[in-house]
């Protein structure tokens, strides 16, 4: 009682309010002074860093350009790479590597090895700072460092999305045939891996390496995972993609898989299935079927497309009208005739728009 009473008394006194206020204010001023000092230190270090970077660029960019344009690095004339310039060098080197192909890559790797950068990168991989690990992973991939295989393989499991993706990319760069059967299941499982980045890795590996393991993984995966992998079908050889599409369209009833397949489907042998799908209950499947019909359809499909002009979904009507307008035998006059024959206002309106687009 006594103690709580004294707390209340103390809360009630003017002195305690003033004390709390003074303490808070002093804390704020002290913290501000620290932040200010830190900010000025940061700015000073940035200025210094910019100067060093400018000096680095003036020496090393011509050397990198020289190596890329066909000259082997000459150990006798190369300047020593200062320890403090390693980060600048790796940044420039990786950017240059990413924009070249062929023998220039080999020469660039030789330059890095001549300078002992490969040894430094191994140390960076062991460091705690994620940024160092990221740069080291990208560099080891570009270097095609086979000895790093197990280390990189472990990094695929990392919860850091970027690090796991860079490790995947590095493994594919080191040995695509060995890496893809290993990493494709991860591509199906890792929901945090952005499809655009995965597709870039697969494109870089090329269809020879991608086709077989990807097709196998799609056929063995659950519908949800297969759907995710189907998005990368265009990185396979056309024949493999065609065969897979045929098998899946025949046996799968999963809407998402059908949707993914309709987007890339380009073989006339799928025409009967596409015609069936034009009556699907989901509008986006009808829409994609109408678009697919434009790629693989026959003259007799014109009547079906005309029927779709009265579909209840705007996008189905619009895509059907566009497909109709793009048929080889179609002309503006013929479109106008079709329009005049329509009793449905929506069909006439959508043709109005597509005719205007065609004549613009």
- Confirm or reject binding of residue 36 to another protein (CB under 8 A): yes
Using the minimum distance from each CB to another protein, give the nearer residue, 194 or 268: 194
Quote the CA–CA distance of 237 and 82 in Å, as a whole number.
46
Q: Are the beta carbons of 85 and 61 closer than 8 angstroms?
A: no
Burial class (CB in 10 A: 0-12, 13-18, 19+), 173: buried
Phi-psi region of 298 (alpha: psi -120 to 50; beta: other; left: phi over 0): beta
Report the length, in residues, of the chain.
360
Using the minimum distance from each CB to another protein, give the nearer residue, 21 or 146: 21
Quote the CA–CA distance of 348 and 343 in Å, as a whole number.
8
Convert residues 207-236 into a mask of x (bound to another protein by CB under 8 A) and - (unbound).
------------------------x--x--
- Confirm or reject binding of residue 266 to another protein (CB under 8 A): no
Q: How far is the CB of 275 from another protein (least distance, A)?
A: 25
Task: Kindly identify the residues of this chain, within the stretch 141-200, that bind another protein according to CB under 8 A.
Answer: 161-162, 166, 192, 194-196, 199-200
- Confirm or reject binding of residue 48 to another protein (CB under 8 A): no
Among 6, 32, 106, 222, the residue binding another protein under the rule CB under 8 A is: 32
Quote the CA–CA distance of 173 and 193 in Å, as a whole number.
18
Q: DSSP class of residue 260?
A: H
Among 7, 22, 59, 239, the residue binding another protein under the rule CB under 8 A is: 22
Token code pair at residue 71: 């000259």
Quote the CA–CA distance of 164 and 157 in Å, as a whole number.
6
- Confirm or reject binding of residue 353 to another protein (CB under 8 A): yes
- Confirm or reject binding of residue 100 to another protein (CB under 8 A): no
The residues near 74 (Cβ < 8 Å, ≥ 6 apart) are none
Using the minimum distance from each CB to another protein, give the nearer residue, 60 or 318: 318
Using the minimum distance from each CB to another protein, give the nearer residue, 24 or 154: 24
Quote the CA–CA distance of 70 and 53 in Å, as a whole number.
25
- Confirm or reject binding of residue 306 to another protein (CB under 8 A): no
Q: How far is the CB of 246 from another protein (least distance, A)?
A: 22
Quote the CA–CA distance of 106 and 59 in Å, as a whole number.
21
Task: Kindly identify the residues of this chain, within the stretch 128-147, that bind another protein according to CB under 8 A.
Answer: 130-131, 134-135, 138
Q: Are the beta carbons of 259 and 285 closer than 8 angstroms?
A: yes
Count of residues near another protein by CB under 8 A: 56
Quote the CA–CA distance of 59 and 92 in Å, as a whole number.
12
Q: Where along the sequence are the contacts to another protein (CB under 8 A)?
A: 11-12, 14, 17-18, 20-22, 24-29, 31-32, 35-36, 38-39, 42-43, 46-47, 91, 94-95, 98-99, 130-131, 134-135, 138, 161-162, 166, 192, 194-196, 199-200, 203, 231, 234, 314, 317-318, 346, 349-350, 352-353, 356, 360
């Amino acid at each position: 009682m006594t103690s709580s009473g004294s707390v209340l008394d103390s809360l009630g006194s003017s002195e305690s309010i003033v004390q709390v206020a003074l303490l808070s204010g002093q804390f704020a001023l002290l913290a501000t002074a620290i932040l200010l000092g830190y900010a000025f230190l940061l700015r000073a270090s940035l200025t210094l860093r910019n100067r060093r970077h400018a000096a680095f660029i003036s020496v090393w960019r011509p050397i990198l350009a020289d190596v890329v344009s066909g000259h082997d690095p000459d150990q006798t004339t190369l300047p020593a790479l200062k320890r403090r310039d390693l980060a600048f060098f790796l940044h420039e080197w990786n950017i240059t590597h990413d924009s070249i192909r062929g023998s220039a890559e080999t020469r660039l790797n030789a330059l890095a090895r001549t300078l002992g950068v490969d040894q430094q990168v191994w140390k960076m991989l062991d460091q705690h700072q994620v940024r160092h690990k990221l740069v080291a992973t990208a560099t080891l991939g570009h270097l095609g460092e086979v000895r790093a295989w197990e280390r990189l393989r472990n990094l695929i499991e990392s919860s850091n999305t970027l690090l796991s993706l860079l490790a995947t990319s590095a493994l594919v760069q080191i040995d695509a045939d060995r890496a893809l059967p290993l990493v494709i299941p991860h591509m199906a499982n890792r929901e945090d891996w952005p499809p655009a980045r995965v597709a870039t890795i697969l494109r870089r590996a090329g269809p020879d390496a991608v086709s077989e393991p990807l097709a196998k993984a799609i056929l063995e995966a659950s519908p949800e995972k297969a759907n995710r992998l189907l998005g990368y079908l265009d990185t396979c050889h056309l024949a493999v993609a065609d065969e897979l599409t045929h098998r899946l369209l025949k046996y799968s009833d999963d809407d998402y898989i059908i949707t993914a397949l309709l987007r890339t489907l380009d073989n006339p042998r799928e025409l009967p299935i596409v015609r069936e799908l034009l009556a699907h209950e989901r509008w986006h499947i009808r829409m994609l079927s109408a678009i697919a019909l434009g790629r693989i359809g026959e003259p007799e499909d014109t009547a079906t497309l005309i029927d779709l002009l009265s579909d209840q979904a705007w996008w189905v009507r619009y895509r059907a009208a566009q497909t109709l307008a793009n048929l080889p035998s179609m002309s503006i006059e013929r479109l106008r005739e079709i329009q005049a024959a329509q009793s449905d206002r929506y069909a006439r309106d959508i043709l109005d728009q597509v005719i205007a687009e065609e004549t613009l």
